[in-house]
Amino acid sequence: MRLINGYWATGTLGTAAACDLFTHLEAGAATPAALAERAGIAPRGAQALLDGLVALGLVTVAEGRYRNTPEASAFLVADRPESLAGFARLKMGHMASLAALPDAVRAGGPVADAVVEIADNPHWEGLVQAIAAQTVPVAHLAAEALGLADAGRISVLDIGGGSGVCSAVWLGLNPDARAVQIDWAPINAIARRLLAERGVGDRVEHVDGDFHTVDFGDRDHDVVMYSNIAHQEGPEENQAIFTRARRALRAGGTLVVSDYIADDDRGGPPFALTFAGEMLLKSRRGSTWRRRDYRTWLTAAGFEDVRFLDTPSPTTLVLAR
């Protein structure tokens, strides 16, 4: 029953995020009446949401007073760099798209236009800002693994950089680093604004266009980032991009891939396996790829040293030299 009604969790969590319930709880509103008033919702609505959140383990109740759990406090209060509240709202809006899954399963892919392959798709505008919070801790881990803070005057190429979150983290840690981001023009416009707000905008160049065809350069960069992109691409596309990334790197440089990666026998991890269905719905050639797929493509592209780094999130990092 819990699995069959799984969409209740997405709906309850997305609605609570849309009403800023976690933010109001954090600020001290502790009763349904107080929350209803601050959120501008009906008292009956506030009670139903709170009941659902208690059931989901995101909120606790004692003597009629409600509080965020430590997880809700860390990840669902708005306006914190690692807040997933925007992502919870976004995913609630994606629920209806699952109605097309039976058709996609029958056809082996999307029956209408594939979302990820449409240039300048408004889908990205909501998505890149909502997923930035997920990328923040991963970007910090990669920075630590590569010693980026103390690496001096390095150049970073971010392929499909989205909100610019990796540049924001890495250039924030290293005042001498510079970055180039390739993405569609409307997304680069969002990144420009966010990077300026983070005080690093003057060190990032934006190249508008399709990363399948935009020139990556020849030994121009010390780090190439490919974050949350490999899953939308097919094997040939990933291998071709890794080959161009290898050419773009200076001697000793590193390609960083960040993605949901399946075990070689496709027996886990659960998040990566489930995400394959998302790519079936939204892309013609994407999937969650296995560690051995990455190894094969990277080796064919000329990388000799390939390391996988697990992170506390569903994301795995691949560091290739």
Ligand X SMILES: C[S@@+](CC[C@H](N)C(=O)[O-])C[C@H]1O[C@@H](n2cnc3c(N)ncnc32)[C@H](O)[C@@H]1O
194 binds ligand X (CB under 6 A): no
CA torsion 93-95-99-102 (nearest 10°) is: 130
Q: Which stretch binds ligand X (CB under 6 A): 17-25, 121-129, 192-200, 276-284?
A: 121-129
Q: One-letter amino acid identity for 81?
A: P
Distance of closest approach, residue 74 Cβ to ligand X, in angstroms: 19
In the block, tokens 């989205």 appear at 162
130 binds ligand X (CB under 6 A): no
136 binds ligand X (CB under 6 A): no
Q: Which stretch binds ligand X (CB under 6 A): 34-42, 123-131, 273-281, 292-300?
A: 123-131
- Name residues whose C-beta falls within 8 Å of residue 49's C-beta, 6 or more positions apart in sequence: 12, 15, 16, 19, 21, 41
How far apart, in Å, are the Cα atoms of 125 and each of 30, 116, 121, 130, 187? 34, 12, 8, 9, 6
Nearer to ligand X, 39 or 182 (CB): 182
Distance of closest approach, residue 246 Cβ to ligand X, in angstroms: 19
36 binds ligand X (CB under 6 A): no
Q: Which of 229, 230, 262, 306 binds ligand X (CB under 6 A)?
A: 229
Q: How far apart are CA 177 and CA 45, in angstroms?
A: 49
| Interstrand relation of 316-320 and 249-259 (parallel, antiparallel or unpaired) | antiparallel
Helix (H, G, I), strand (E, B) or coil at 164: coil
Nearer to ligand X, 52 or 164 (CB): 164
Is the Cβ–Cβ distance between 223 and 192 less than 8 Å?
no
Q: Which pair of tokens denotes residue 124?
A: 């990205």
Q: How far apart are CA 121 and CA 132, in angstroms?
A: 18
Q: Which of 14, 161, 201, 286 binds ligand X (CB under 6 A)?
A: 161
* Closest-approach residue to ligand X (CB): 162
Q: Which stretch binds ligand X (CB under 6 A): 13-21, 205-213, 236-244, 301-309?
A: 205-213
Q: Which of 187, 241, 279, 281 binds ligand X (CB under 6 A)?
A: 187
DSSP assignment, residue 66? E
Nearest to 157 by CA among 170, 144, 175: 170
Nearer to ligand X, 21 or 194 (CB): 194
Distance of closest approach, residue 65 Cβ to ligand X, in angstroms: 37
Neighbours of 37 (CB within 10 A): 14
Q: Which of 14, 162, 201, 286 binds ligand X (CB under 6 A)?
A: 162
In the block, tokens 């909120």 appear at 59
86 binds ligand X (CB under 6 A): no
Distance of closest approach, residue 188 Cβ to ligand X, in angstroms: 9
Nearer to ligand X, 43 or 234 (CB): 234
Give the binding site for ligand X (CB under 6 A).
124, 127-128, 131-132, 135, 160-163, 165, 182-184, 187, 210-212, 227-229
